[in-house]
Amino acid sequence: MINIALPKGRLGDKVYELFSSIGYDCKSIYEDNRKLVFENKDNGVRYLLIKPSDVAIYVEYGAADIGVVGKDVLLETNPDVYELCDLNLGKCHLCVAAPNDYVENTGTVLRVATKYPNVAKAYYRSKNREIEIIKLNGSIELAPILGLSDVIVDIVETGTTLVENNLKVIEKVAYSSARFIANKSSFKFNEQKINLMVGKINDKNI
If the CB atoms of residues 155 and 198 are measured against ligand PRP, the closer one turns out to be 155
Nearest to 169 by CA among 114, 93, 112: 93
Partners of 167 in the beta sheet? 99
Distance between CA atoms of residues 167 and 85, nearest Å: 33
Residues that bind ligand PRP (rule: CB under 6 A) add up to a total of 12
Kindly indicate which of the ranges 76-84, 118-126, 132-140, 187-195 contains the residues binding ligand PRP, using the contact rule CB under 6 A. Answer: 132-140
Handedness of CA 115, 118, 121, 123 (dihedral sign): negative
Partners of 171 in the beta sheet? 96
Kindly indicate which of the ranges 33-41, 67-75, 134-142, 179-187 contains the residues binding ligand PRP, using the contact rule CB under 6 A. Answer: 134-142
Kindly indicate which of the ranges 14-22, 34-42, 137-145, 188-196 contains the residues binding ligand PRP, using the contact rule CB under 6 A. Answer: 137-145
Distance between CA atoms of residues 33 and 148, nearest Å: 38
User: At closest approach, how far in Å is the CB of 62 from ligand PRP?
Assistant: 27
CA–CA distances in Å: residue 42 to residues 23, 75, 189, 200? 11, 36, 20, 19
Residue from 4, 55, 110, 140 touching ligand PRP (CB under 6 A): that is 140
Q: Which of residues 156-175 bind ligand PRP (CB under 6 A)?
A: 156-161
User: At closest approach, how far in Å is the CB of 159 from ligand PRP?
Assistant: 5
Under the criterion CB under 6 A, does residue 43 sit at the interface with ligand PRP?
no
Sheet of strand 131-135, all strands in order from the earlier edge strand to the far edge: 131-135, 110-114, 151-156, 92-99, 167-176
If the CB atoms of residues 81 and 94 are measured against ligand PRP, the closer one turns out to be 94
Q: Which of residues 48-77 bind ligand PRP (CB under 6 A)?
A: none
User: At closest approach, how far in Å is the CB of 139 from ligand PRP?
Assistant: 5
User: At closest approach, how far in Å is the CB of 147 from ligand PRP?
Assistant: 19
Nearest to 85 by CA among 68, 61, 102: 68
Distance between CA atoms of residues 198 and 5, nearest Å: 15
Q: Which residues bind ligand PRP (CB under 6 A)?
A: 138-141, 154-161
